[in-house]
Amino acid sequence: MGIEVPRVVWVGTGLLAFAAGVVNAVGYLGYEHQAFSHMTGTVSLQSIAIEGSNWGNAQQLLAVIVSFVIGSFGAGLLLRDRSLSGAYVGLLAVEAMLFIAAAALLAGGNAFGACFAAAGCGLQNAMTSFYSGSSIRSTHLTGFFTDFGLVLGQVCRGHPVPRRRLAMWGLVLFSFSTGGMVAATSFHQLGFLTLLLPSAIVGLCAIGLWIYLRPGTLQT
Q: Can you give the pTM of this predicted structure?
A: 0.87
Give the integer Cα–Cα distance in Å for 10 and 152: 23
Contacting residues for 35 by C-beta, under 8 A, at least 6 apart? 24, 27, 28, 41, 42
Q: What share of the chain is helix, strand, coil (3-state, %, to 5)?
A: 75, 0, 25
DSSP state of 36: S
* Domains in the chain, CATH or no CATH each: 7-211 (1.20.1250)
pLDDT in tens, the chain (220 residues): 456 678 888 899 999 999 999 999 999 898 777 778 778 788 888 899 899 989 988 898 899 999 999 999 999 999 988 889 999 999 999 999 999 999 999 999 999 999 999 999 999 999 988 887 766 777 777 777 777 788 889 889 888 877 787 888 888 889 999 999 999 999 999 999 999 999 999 999 999 999 999 875 555 4
CA atoms within 13 A on the CB side of 4: 1
- The angle, 0 to 180 degrees and rounded to 10, between the axes of the packed helices 163-190 and 196-213 is 140
